Amino acid sequence: MSFDVAELLTLYEIVNFSFPERYEELIQEIAEKGSRLLGIRRLAIMVDEGGRLICLGKWGFRKGEDFAQRITDPGENGFVYTMSHGLRGLIFLEASARISGREKRLFNIFARRIEDVIALKQMESKIKESEREKKTILDSILELLIYQDAEHRIMWANTSAAKYAGKRSEELTGGLCYETLYRRKEPCAGCPVASALKTGVPQEGLVTPLEGKQFFVRGYPVKSQKGIIEGIVEVCFEVTERIQAEEAFRTIFNSVHDAIFIHEPEGKILDVNETMLRMYGIASKEEAVKLSIARDYSSPDSPLEQLREWWKKAVEGESPRFEWKARRPVDGTVFDAEVCLKKITFAGKEAILATVRDITARKREEELLRSIFGHSPIGMYIVSKGRFRLVNAQFEKLSGYSQEELIGREALSLVYPEDREAVRRNAVRMLKGMAAQPYDFRIITKHGEIKWVEETVASLQHEGQRVTLGNIMDITEKKRFAQKLEYVSLHDQLTGLYNRAYFEEQLKRLGKSNKYPISIIVADVNGLKLVNDTMGHQKGDKLLIACAQILKKALRPSDIVARVGGDEFVALLPRTDEATGSNILHQLRLSIERYNRKHPQLPLSVSFGIATAYNSEELLKQTYRRADDLMYREKLYLGTSARSKIVNALLAALSERDHLTEGHGRRLQHLCRILGEKMGLSRQQLANLSLLAQVHDIGKVGIPDRILFKKGPLTEEEWEIMRQHPEKGYRIALASPDLAGIADLILKHHEKWDGSGYPLGLKGEEIPIECRILAIADAFDAMTSDRPYRRAKTVEEALEEIRRCAGTQFDPKLVEIFLQVILTKEEVSKGQKVAN
Amino acid sequence: MAGIPELRVGVGFSDEHDAEAAVQRALEQALSRTGRPALTLVLTTEGYAPEEVLAGAVKMVGNSPLVGAWTPGIIFGFEVCARGVGVCTIGGEGIEAVTHLERTISACPFARGEKAGEALIDKGGESPGTVLLFPDGSSANISELLRGLYNAMGPDFKYIGGGSGDNLRFNSTYQFTEEGVGSDAIAAAVLRGINFNVELDHGWSPAGEPFTITRAEGRRVYEIDGVPAFERYTALVRRCTRNGFPYYGMQYPFGLPAAGGKFIIRDPLKAEEDGSILFVTEIPENTIATIMEGDAESLVAAAGRVAESALNTPATPKVLILFDCVSRYLLLGKDFSREMEAIARRLKPEIPVFGMLSFGEISSVSGTPLFYNKTIVAAAGW
């Protein structure tokens, strides 16, 4: 077998690969060598990856050309080489023409060489992959990882270190550790790397390479098989923040207002804060940690069993919070505390953190609040989920139920059923802050009494729940008063009818209503003033009440009757036409007549006016005015006759009351007439004198019986009333046309000659002659008549007395004449006969 | 003969100064033979602005495909013309052509080659044909470019061509198609309906012991057998000195083994200060090579053999296209006319000859397109 040079060179070259970095370049090289040296026109390399053939590279196949098909069916110019008996994959080579035996051998050599290269490359990839993995792992470590030599020169650094230095990993290599990482000129003081180098064993410690920056550094010496230190692996991480955080924690630990104990789960105290020392009055931590929480820091009265339970819960991971009687070991004083236990990790171990809060002040406050709650004059309650949870004494009192009966009961059940919805609505509004004013409603007490209450509610946190605090006040009285006030403001006190204000309101309201036709009756009590003045207001009031009752009785419920003035009444009659109105008025008049028949001593006289409106408000006011006018017209028409009736009634009443005085009147009339005639009085004067003799005491109708008929002397006060009768008589007389002419005489009939009389204190002849005559005659008759309290004087005694009073009490001239007259016995006896 | 298309080939040449006029004169001669062409091949030497040449040509051939390049010399009528514009028009029934211009081929030559191949397939389809290639021979790794092109087009095509260049001034050179003019580009055309019988030879023989290119990058060889390239070269070619290197390099090129016991020649260009050697064409690392030698006799004989074999076609060829390495022209000097004569002797006078002095030659005679140096490629179209 012989080879020429070219063939030898070919053989030599096909096994000579440059072993390129990337698979693409390897394929290029295979294509170059294959096409140039072996005339290969197509090739493909398939590798086995988990049982599947994956194309590592191909050449000479057009896009989309099915090369797999070509490999399966290589034909005469195709050559398939199986790598590791097919386990690694295959190599396909295609020549331009049928492959000769010689070519096949060359192809085989070529393919085997390719297989070697691929195997090498795969191994290389695996190594690279594992190196990459290692690098990824080291790079993923957050700590700074630096491999350095004895001179602190960096041989390798991970990404964290590079990131810290602000450079790429490769840039760190060769630099001095302290210079590259911390920009220092010399190694850090106390660097564990240096001591690890010296000692040959791992070292660690805190390093401050820069001001304000602290690092935790570990140095691990890396030794060769012979034990020579080749370098140091430095692992470091910044702990500035952690140290700052620890310092901050210490500050907080010591400055909180709660005492803090840190215990082992078994109970031994590990640490306490400064607040604890202050709170318990202990001098030092060393002393504090020696003592026992159960024995020394708890009051002997505290239930230690309970403490064990809580402790167990804390160890199991719960955070119990409870109140406790804490004890100061120094002096044994006890204070109220709130304790919270919590499991924590302390210095890498499980621990129990106990925070103790001095709640003495809070307890005091709670006590105060409880006392306020208990003694509040306001009914207070706490409701949660619609049911009473807590009530105070005042609430019990108010509702009539006991606390036991109320707790758990539905809050709204106490509310008057009709008011429940409003209460619910108002409460919700107030709880939402939409309303601030208290609202009122009715409750039904245990005893069935309905009470008005005023309530405010507020939302608050109670025992960890959101609850409603309610405050209620009993406003039943207030409410009643308000109702009364309302009644008063709209009603006339005396008659119980509506007042003027209400009437005017109704007039307006009706004016706008559709209750037309509306008739208005105006009624005015005649002679009220006379009655008031003479018989007193009580009588007048009686008259008004009588009038009101008659009106009320005669009118329909739909009619509105009001007292609009002292003696004036108005009735509004809705849906009443003129005819009906007149009919009603007629009935009214009949009622008054009936009344007067029953009460002749004080008859009721009323003037009426009626008018009807058919529409519009303006017309209604006019109608009222028209009715008023008509009433006045009737009053005018009735005029004096009405008053006379009253005066007559008064006289009747007077005579009925004082039967004695009636006889007295007649005797007096007789004596006066004689004297008058003697004095040459005119006929009119004599008539007046006669009348005066009869009615001069008409004013006495207003004097109460107890004064008028008093046995024994009158008091000054009684005299005062007594002395009013001339004026009252004067007013009565003025009201009566029959008596008006003698009104002045009635007024002056108690004047005395010397001016010591009353009411005007007239003197001498200022006193009308009729009065002077009456005075003498009256005194004589009085003295000569029996009185309940004394016997009658004799004529002589009487005359003597009159004589004695001449010039003081009586007109002396008249006394003279009177004496003459009286001394004529006949006259006297005549007079006595008359009297009998 | 039924089924064989009627192939018409026309050639023309002009050395008029005006580029447009020159191309038009040349085309007038060629088109008189072919009528409207399926493909126009335009070669131009320095002194003619390629844009003007192209504009002039387009005015004549319209939008029909056109491919061409700059060359240091145009072979026309067995003469080498160092100045002028030469054209070859190929037409006839059933003749089809598409062209493509791929630019910036020195960046990622493999990918650019693939892209050019895909473009040609896209434009003209996958059916077999002949690919005419005119890469910029001075810049890129043409071997890689060809491997990329081949990877896209596959073994169903024949590949021929020559590197374009500028008469060793190494300034810039141009490649163009009807799409435009490029530099650092490859102008390519696929021609269908015409058969080419391609032959290749160089006349160089191995002249010494083999050695290994132990470190190389592109066109630069740093180390041979682990020692600086120039040092090793002078040990092999003892007479060679640094100053004399251009001469000795041309005389004693490298031969890389190739299929069928043949050699691919790699032409050294320059001995660098750092001891490396710059080659005309890239040399892969880990390649076994040997020093080659040849003389006028062997070179001319090779040209004769190439022409003879190429022209041995089933039917009378209509054209002979030549890609003759410029270094052969330079090396042979006045003997170059002997090379032309050797070809002419084997050719019927009516068969037109059209060719270029090339900066590297392309042929797929060994199965795939390879880039050769110091070689003559002859393609007889029939």
pLDDT digit string, tens, across residues B306-341: 999 999 999 999 999 999 999 999 999 999 999 999
The answer to whether residues A713 and A614 belong to one domain is no
Amino acid at A396: E
Q: What is the pLDDT of residues A583-616, one digit of tens each?
A: 999 999 999 889 888 887 778 888 899 999 887 7
Could you tell me which chain A residue has the CA closest to the CA of B209? Answer: A5
The count of residues in chain A is: 836
Residue B2: what pLDDT?
Answer: 40
Amino acid at B28: E
- Residue A803 near residue A787, CB atoms below 8 Å: no
* Average pLDDT for B48-71: 94
CATH of the domain at A464: 3.30.450.20
Is residue A251 situated within a structural domain? no
Could you tell me which chain A residue has the CA closest to the CA of B288? Answer: A13
Is the per-residue pLDDT at A657 higher than 70? no
Residue B67: what pLDDT?
Answer: 97
Are β-strands A78-83 and A89-95 bridged in parallel, bridged antiparallel, or unpaired?
antiparallel
Is residue A250 situated within a structural domain? no
Residue A737: what pLDDT?
Answer: 67
Confidence of residue B168 (pLDDT cuts 50, 70, 90): low
Amino acid at B207: A
Is the per-residue pLDDT at B119 higher than 90? yes
Q: SS3 of A219, please? A: strand
Out of A132, A165, A194, pick the residue that ends a domain.
A132
The answer to whether residues A676 and A801 belong to one domain is yes
Is the per-residue pLDDT at B210 higher than 50? yes
A9/B288 Cβ within 8 A: yes
The answer to whether residues A732 and A596 belong to one domain is no
Is residue A706 situated within a structural domain? yes
Residue A654: what pLDDT?
Answer: 67
The answer to whether residues A173 and A127 belong to one domain is no
Domain boundaries, position A72: 5-132
Q: Torsion angle of alpha carbons A373, A379, A382, A384, nearest 10°?
A: 180
Out of A132, A163, A189, pick the residue that ends a domain.
A132
Q: Between A671 and B192, where is the model more confident?
A: B192
- Average pLDDT over chain B reads 92
Report the residue from B143, B152, B153 with minimal CB separation from A32: B143
Would you kindly state where each structural domain of chain B is located, as residue ranges? 7-201+299-381, 205-293
A39/B257 Cβ within 8 A: no
Amino acid at B195: N
Q: What is the pLDDT of residues B19-45, one digit of tens each?
A: 999 999 999 999 999 989 999 999 999
Residue A717: what pLDDT?
Answer: 87
B290 contacts in chain A (CB < 8 Å): 5, 9
- Residue A82 Cα, gap to closest chain B Cα (Å): 23
Is residue A248 situated within a structural domain? no
Residue A662: what pLDDT?
Answer: 53
The answer to whether residues A90 and A186 belong to one domain is no
Confidence of residue A832 (pLDDT cuts 50, 70, 90): low
Confidence of residue A728 (pLDDT cuts 50, 70, 90): confident
Residue A1: what pLDDT?
Answer: 43
The answer to whether residues A509 and A406 belong to one domain is no
Please report, rounded to a whole number, the percentage of residues in chain B having pLDDT higher than 90. 80
Sign of the alpha-carbon dihedral angle for A266, A268, A273, A278: positive
B260/A62 Cβ within 8 A: no
Is the per-residue pLDDT at A817 higher than 80? yes
Could you tell me which chain B residue has the CA closest to the CA of A60? Answer: B151
How far, in whole angstroms, is CA A330 from its chain's centroid? 49
- Pairwise CA distance, residues A518 & A627, whole Å: 12
The answer to whether residues A119 and A27 belong to one domain is yes
Is the per-residue pLDDT at A658 higher than 80? no
CATH of the domain at A561: 3.30.70.270
Residue A828: what pLDDT?
Answer: 52
Residue A722: what pLDDT?
Answer: 85
The answer to whether residues A497 and A637 belong to one domain is yes
Out of A416, A447, A480, pick the residue that ends a domain.
A480
The answer to whether residues A704 and A823 belong to one domain is yes
Query: How far is residue A224 from each of residues A150, A173, A203, A227, A564, measured CA to CA in Å?
Result: 14, 21, 19, 5, 128
How many CB atoms are located within 10 Å of the residue A338 CB?
17
> Which residue do the tokens 């017209």 mark?
A633
Q: What is the pLDDT of residues A116-174, one digit of tens each?
A: 888 888 888 888 888 888 888 888 888 889 999 888 899 888 888 888 888 888 888 88
Phi and psi at B358, nearest 5°, equal -115, 155
B259 contacts in chain A (CB < 8 Å): 10, 36-39
Residue A835: what pLDDT?
Answer: 45
The answer to whether residues A627 and A516 belong to one domain is yes
Lowest mean pLDDT among A602-606, A734-738, A766-770: A734-738
3-state secondary structure A491-524: ECCCCCCECHHHHHHHHHHHHHCCCCCEEEEEEE
* Average pLDDT for B159-177: 84
The answer to whether residues A311 and A283 belong to one domain is yes
- Pairwise CA distance, residues B255 & B205, whole Å: 8
Please report, rounded to a whole number, the percentage of residues in chain A having pLDDT higher than 90. 18
Residue A237: what pLDDT?
Answer: 87
Looking at the domain B205-293, which fold is it?
Elongation Factor Tu (Ef-tu); domain 3 (2.40.30)
Is the per-residue pLDDT at A653 higher than 70? no
- Pairwise CA distance, residues A109 & A116, whole Å: 11
Lowest mean pLDDT among A294-298, A449-453, B215-219: A294-298
Number of domains in chain A: 6
Burial (CB count <10 Å: 0-12, 13-18, 19+), residue A835: middle
The answer to whether residues A624 and A741 belong to one domain is no
- Pairwise CA distance, residues B112 & B118, whole Å: 10
Interchain contact A10–B (C-beta under 8 A) = yes
Q: What is the pLDDT of residues A177-232, one digit of tens each?
A: 888 888 888 888 888 888 888 888 889 888 888 877 888 899 999 888 888 888 89
- Pairwise CA distance, residues A205 & A195, whole Å: 10
Is the per-residue pLDDT at A493 higher than 80? yes
Residue A793: what pLDDT?
Answer: 84
Lowest mean pLDDT among A714-728, B52-66, B77-91, B117-131: A714-728
- Average pLDDT over chain A reads 85
Is residue A485 situated within a structural domain? no
